[in-house]
Amino acid sequence: MNDRAREAELIARAVSGDGDAFAELVQPFEAKVYNLACRMCGSREDAYDLAQEAFLKVYRALGRFKGDSSFSTWLYRVVSNTCLDQIRRTRRSRAVLSLDAPVDTEGGSLRREPADASFDPEDAALRAEVQREVRAVVLQLAPDHRLAIVLRDFEDFSYEEIADTLGWNPGTVKSRISRARAALRDRLVERELLPRPGVYSAKGVDA
């Protein structure tokens, strides 16, 4: 049985009430869903709650999944909308964002290449500060811009995958990512944290 046939079988079983089938269906996506939620909301605890909320929505709506897109695309669409809804509910109550929020780089796409192999405390401190500032700026972006740059530059989605997931046209995707990256660069320059070449680069800037 190929992967698509197995997925279809699991969906059918989950729709009929088989909880084990649903768990097997979503297990490959759990870590990526959590990371997406964490980067969108900036809080590990909130990310856990958002991920659980999104999976519950997927479970309840699974019977309406028609297979017009891949299951993963549909899943990430639900997760993305769940994150956007949460941001819109809470953005007015979060006037101040901490610059000391932890940076989750596992599976991320920020490349940091030291000039040489030796440990340089000054370079290490600079990279850590740049990462904190990157996280802070991302959390300050408009929700749609935040989601676009998180999916592209942290989760490594292609432009086409982002367009399919969010239902945006490719031009909108590119525009929002470009604006988000510009805001990031401006903030790093403003904070005098734009480092020398080799310390920081954003993957996919010219992609």
Q: Annotate 111-180 with three-state secondary structure.
A: ECCCCCCCCCHHHHHHHHHHHHHHHHHHHHCCHHHHHHHHHHHHCCCCHHHHHHHHCCCHHHHHHHHHHH
Type of residue numbered 47: A
Q: Which domains does the chain have, with CATH numbers?
A: 1-95 (1.10.1740.10), 97-207 (1.10.10.10)
CA geometry: angle 179, 181, 184, nearest 5 deg: 110
> Has this prediction a pTM greater than 0.75?
no
pLDDT in tens, 1-39: 678 888 999 999 999 999 999 999 999 999 999 999 999
For residue range 120-175, list pLDDT tens digits in order. Answer: 565 666 667 767 778 888 888 889 999 999 999 889 999 999 999 999 999 999 99
Can you tell me the mean pLDDT for 61-77? Answer: 91
Of residues 53 and 138, the one with the higher pLDDT is 53
User: Given pLDDT bands bounded at 50, 70 and 90, which one contains residue 107?
Assistant: very low
Cβ-based neighbour number of residue 129 at 10 Å: 15
Range in 68-72, 80-84, 91-95 with the lowest mean pLDDT:
91-95
CA angle 30, 88, 149 (to 5 degrees): 55
Q: Rounded distance, CA 74 to CA 58, Å? A: 9
